Amino acid sequence: MSCCSSGALERQFGPGTAAADLRRYRWRGPRVTTRLLIRGIRPHLIRDATLLDIGGGIGAIHHELLDHGVARAWQVDPSAAYLVAAEEEARRRHHAGRVEFVHGDIGTASAMVPAADVVTLDRVVCCDPDYEVLLDRALAKTRRLFGLSFPRDRGVVRGAVTLANLYRRVRGLAFRGFVHPPDRMDALIRERGFERVFAARSPVWQVGVYARTPAAG
Ligand SMILES: C[S@@+](CC[C@H](N)C(=O)[O-])C[C@H]1O[C@@H](n2cnc3c(N)ncnc32)[C@H](O)[C@@H]1O
């Protein structure tokens, strides 16, 4: 199994992780990256916007945005356990008729999800060795707004990711985390016709929200 096949992702984000993440979300609310993404997205939402959350985990972004301006959402995720947890929470919040869940990665499942006004990649590019392909696939689905979060390119963050990867290697786990160059990701997104409308940081994470420029149609 190579990093990061769907099998590696299923194992990394299995039922134990999904249950713990859902408990944490119900107890403490969205994580810092999700909160920042929502802060950057909400002022730019159009009426009855649609949302595609790629790698949504337990679904925090759509749980929050379906209560604040988004009309319909799709979540695509290779982790079946995360999708079960996200669907359970969507039912609890009476969102079940407004969100659809698609099992797979955005490469293989691309045809099964529509383009959306808002597309998000919250802590997902760090799961993929090829950020360019992942960003291109996500941007191809984006009508208006694109939001992403990723680990900051700092020595201490790189060190922590390297240590975590070493631990996984010793344990025989195929999943690996990645710190990709923020400037190159930013340049790629701009080249595809977007401008940045929001940026924020925590000590570990960086968040950007981009709007499609009128010229890019
Ligand atoms: C660290 S978790 C983040 C989950 C959630 N977005 C959050 O911030 O809590 C990474 C998520 O990305 C998903 N993922 C990784 N690569 C993906 C891909 N190519 N397409 C769709 N989802 C992907 C994983 O299955 C997992 O749900």
The tens digit of pLDDT for each residue in 104-135 reads: 999 999 999 999 999 999 999 999 999 999 99
Ligand 1 atom nearest to CA at 121: 6
CB neighbour burial string for 160-196, b if at least 16 within 10 angstroms, e if fewer: ebeeebeebeeeeebbbbbbbeeeebbeebeebbbee
The tens digit of pLDDT for each residue in 138-176 reads: 999 999 999 999 999 999 999 999 999 999 999 999 999
- Write down the pLDDT at residue 4: 65
- Over residues 46-50, mean pLDDT: 95
Report whether pLDDT(212) > 60: yes
- Write down the pLDDT at residue 215: 77
- Write down the pLDDT at residue 3: 58
Ligand 1 atom nearest to CA at 128: 16
CA distances from 94 to 28, 50, 74, 201 (A): 20, 17, 15, 32
Percentage above 70 pLDDT, the chain = 97
Closest Cα to atom 13 of ligand 1: 55
d(CA 111, CA 108): 8
- Write down the pLDDT at residue 7: 85
- Write down the pLDDT at residue 2: 45
Report whether pLDDT(82) > 70: yes
Percentage above 90 pLDDT, the chain = 93
pTM listed for this prediction: 0.96
d(CA 170, CA 131): 25
Domains and CATH numbers, the chain: 6-211 (3.40.50.150)
| Strands of the 142-151 sheet, one edge to the other | 99-103, 70-77, 49-54, 116-122, 142-151, 205-212, 194-201
Query: From ligand 1's centre to the CA of 11, what distance in Å?
Result: 12
**Tokens 């009508």 map to which residue?**
143
Query: From ligand 1's centre to the CA of 82, what distance in Å?
Result: 9
Kindly indicate the confidence band of residue 1, based on its pLDDT and cuts at 50, 70 and 90: very low
The tens digit of pLDDT for each residue in 166-209 reads: 999 999 999 999 999 999 999 999 999 999 999 999 999 999 99
Query: From ligand 1's centre to the CA of 78, what distance in Å?
Result: 8
Report whether pLDDT(5) > 80: no
- Over residues 10-38, mean pLDDT: 97
Ligand 1 atom nearest to CA at 82: 27
Kindly indicate the confidence band of residue 217, based on its pLDDT and cuts at 50, 70 and 90: low
Ligand 1 atom nearest to CA at 106: 20
- Write down the pLDDT at residue 6: 78
* 99-103 and 70-77 beta bridge pairing: parallel
Residues with CB under 6 A from ligand 1: 9, 13, 31, 33-34, 54-57, 60, 76-79, 82, 105-106, 122-124, 127-128, 134
Report whether pLDDT(29) > 50: yes
Query: From ligand 1's centre to the CA of 199, what distance in Å?
Result: 21
Task: Choose the residue to mutate in 17, 120, 127 for probing ligand 1, maximizing ligand atoms within 8 Å of C-beta.
Answer: 127
Contact indicator for 189, 131 with CB cutoff of 8 Å: no
Query: From ligand 1's centre to the CA of 128, what distance in Å?
Result: 9
